[in-house]
Amino acid sequence: MIGVLCNEIERDAVREFFELFKTPWEFYNSSTNYEVVLSTCKETPKINSRLVIIYSSDATQFDTPRGFSLSGCSSGVVLGEDEFNLVIYGPLSSLEGEGRTLLVQSEGKRIAVEIPEKDQIFMRVGYNLFQEATFLLTNGQPTDYSLKPTLENHIDLLRTWIATSGITLIEIPPVPYGHSLIACITHDVDFAGIRYHKLDSTFWGFLYRALLLTPFKFIRGNSTKDRLLKNLKAVLILPLIYMGISKDFWDEFEAYAQIDMEYHSTFFIIPFKKQPGEKFMGVFWSQRATQYDINDIADHVKSLRAQGFEIGLHGIDAWHNVENAKRELKRIVEVTGQDRIGIRMHYLYFAADSPSILEQAGFDYDSTCGYNESIGFKNGTSQPFLSQGATRLLELPMVIQDTTLFDSRRLNLNEIQAWDICKIALDNVVKVGGVITLSWHTRSLSPERLWGEFYKKLLNELRDRKAWFGTAIQVVDWFRQRRSVVFGACQIQENQINIQLKCGSIISGPHMCLRIHLAQKVGQKKNNSQPGFIDMPYMGEPQIQIPLSSLEEI
C-alpha cells in the first residue's frame, strides 16, 4: 500500500494519477503502516516505511539534516538509467549533497537521488509529481515532445523505483488480460459525398490536388502511377456522379463497413449542415460548414448501427455552449436511437470549460483532445482520463490522425516516414499500456487521398500486436470498470499474498489483468529482457490468494 502526503490543492490530481496507475494507495494516515510513502509537503513526519519518496522543487524539512541544498534550473528533459528520459514542465531544482544519482538534468545537474538509511530508502526528487500530472492533463504538452507518453513515463519511473527497492507491487494495468494494447478505430465524417460539392472550394481543391498536385508528386517519386491514374479517372467521372449515373467515390460507408467489420469502429457525424459554428480563439472558419448532415445519410447510419458500429457526434458548437450541445446531441439521438452518445469536436475545437459543458449536456465521453499538427500523446497518456471540471465525462485521447500525417499543410509525410512515426507511437503504447485511438476520415480511402492501403496496414499491425479492438464506448466502459476497482488490504500471510478488492459491475468486454511486479534486490538494475511481473485474469473477485511459490518460479 502506498501512502500519499500532499497539499490540499493537489488531492484531485493525486486521485486521477492513481486512476491511471491502478495500484493500492490512500492518503497518508499516521496510524497505518505503509511500504511506500510519497510526499510533496514541506514538512514530512517521521516515517518508518521501507521507501519514502519526497517530490518537491522547494526546500523541505528533509533536506537540511542531510546536507542537501537546492538550486532552481531550467525545465526540460531529464535523464535516467538505461536511456530513460523524462520531460519536466513545472519548477525543477537540482540537488547538491550525498546519495546515488537517479536522474540528471541535460546539463548534468542531479535531479533525483537515493539515500539509504538503516532499513529505509529515501529518494529526494527535485520536482512535484502531481503538479506535473496536473499540467499534462489540463494544458497538455507541446508538439516538440508529442511522441513521449510523459505522464505514463512518470508512472513507469515510480513503478521501477518501488520494485528496485525490494517491494512487490500489485497493479491493474491499462490493458486487458492477454492483450498488449487497446485499439479504438474512429472515423470523422467531414464529407459524405462529392455530389454535395458543386463548384465550391472543396470541388476546386479536389481538382487542384487530383490534376496538379498528384502528377507533381508522381514526377518527384512521391506518388505511384496507380494513384495518378485513379485520380485522373475520378476527375473524368465527376459529371456522371452529378447526373446520378456513377457511384460517388466519396461515399465510402460500405467500404469501411467491410474493412472494419472485425474492428468495431466509431463514426463521428455532423448534426447540422451549412453551419460553421462560432469563432474559436477570435478566428471564424467558414470552411467548418459542411454540405451534409446526419439526416442526409440516415440510411447509412441505420445500416452501420445494424452491423454493430457506433455513431457519435462530430460537434460544431457543443464545445462552448450547453444549449447548443444539447441541441446537437438530440439530433444524433433522434436518428441513431442510441441512448449513449460520445463526441469529438469538428476541427478539434476545445476550451478549458468544455469538459464541464459536455458533461452537463449529457455526453457519455469526449475524444477531442489530440493534435492537429502532430501525432502522439497530447496529455502524456493514451488512457481515458477525467478532465478538470468533469465528474463523470472521460476524455479518450486521439493518438494518430490521417490528415496530420499526410496533409501538405501539416506533417506532409510520405508513407515510409508516416509508418516510422506511427510505429514509435505504437511501441510506446505497447510499453506503457493504453489505447491507440486512430482517427481516419471517411474520405481518406478515396481519390484524391487514396490512403486506404496505409490504413489497412495499420489495422493489420495493431492486430498482429494483439490489440483488443473496441468502439469508443466499449473502450471507455472498459476503463470505467477498471476505475471502479478499489483495493482493500493487501497482505502476505501463510506463504501467500492475500488481496482484497471491490469492483463495480462487470462488463462483457475482455477481462482485466492483475499484475504482480516482483520485488528486485536493492540496487539491482531493471532487466529489460525479462518482464519482471506475472499476469493473471481478474474477473471481479472480492478476494484473491496468490501462493508465493508461484512468484518464486518466475
Read off the pLDDT of residues 338-382 as tens digits, 9 standing for 90 and up.
999 999 999 999 999 999 999 999 999 999 999 999 999 999 999
Instruction: Say if residue 488 is exposed, middle or buried (CB neighbours under 10 Å; 0-12, 13-18, 19+).
Output: middle
Position 269 scores a pLDDT of 98
Residues 6 or more apart whose Cβ sits within 8 Å of residue 158: 21, 38, 53, 129
Of all residues in the chain, the percent with pLDDT exceeding 90 is 80
| pLDDT reading at 10 higher than 90 | yes
Q: Is the distance from CB of 68 to CB of 96 less than 8 angstroms?
A: yes
Grid cell at residue 42: 514541506
Grid cell at residue 394: 472521460
Q: Is 160 helix (H, G, I), strand (E, B) or coil?
A: helix
Closest CA to 442 of 189, 262, 247, 238: 189
Stretch 21-28: mean pLDDT, rounded? 96
Grid cell at residue 139: 494544458
| pLDDT reading at 416 higher than 80 | yes
| pLDDT reading at 21 higher than 90 | yes
Position 457 scores a pLDDT of 98
Residue found by looking up cell 449542415 in the block: 273
Position 524 scores a pLDDT of 53
| pTM of this structure | 0.95
CA neighbours within 13 Å on the CB side: how many for 495? 4
Candidate from 34-38, 298-302, 363-367, 515-519 with smallest mean pLDDT:
515-519
pLDDT tier at 66, thresholds 50, 70, 90: confident
Candidate from 38-42, 333-337, 520-524 with smallest mean pLDDT:
520-524
Please give the residue that has the higher pLDDT: either 351 or 217.
Answer: 351
Alpha-carbon distance of 449 to 209, in angstroms, equals 9
First-last CA distance in the chain: 23
The amino acid sitting at 359 is E
Candidate from 42-46, 371-375, 457-461 with smallest mean pLDDT:
42-46
Q: Is the distance from CB of 488 to CB of 507 less than 8 angstroms?
A: no
Which of the given ranges, 46-50, 340-344, 498-502, has the highest pLDDT on average?
340-344
Residue-averaged pLDDT of the chain: 93
Position 529 scores a pLDDT of 47
Alpha-carbon distance of 343 to 396, in angstroms, equals 10
CB atoms within 10 A of CB 485: 17
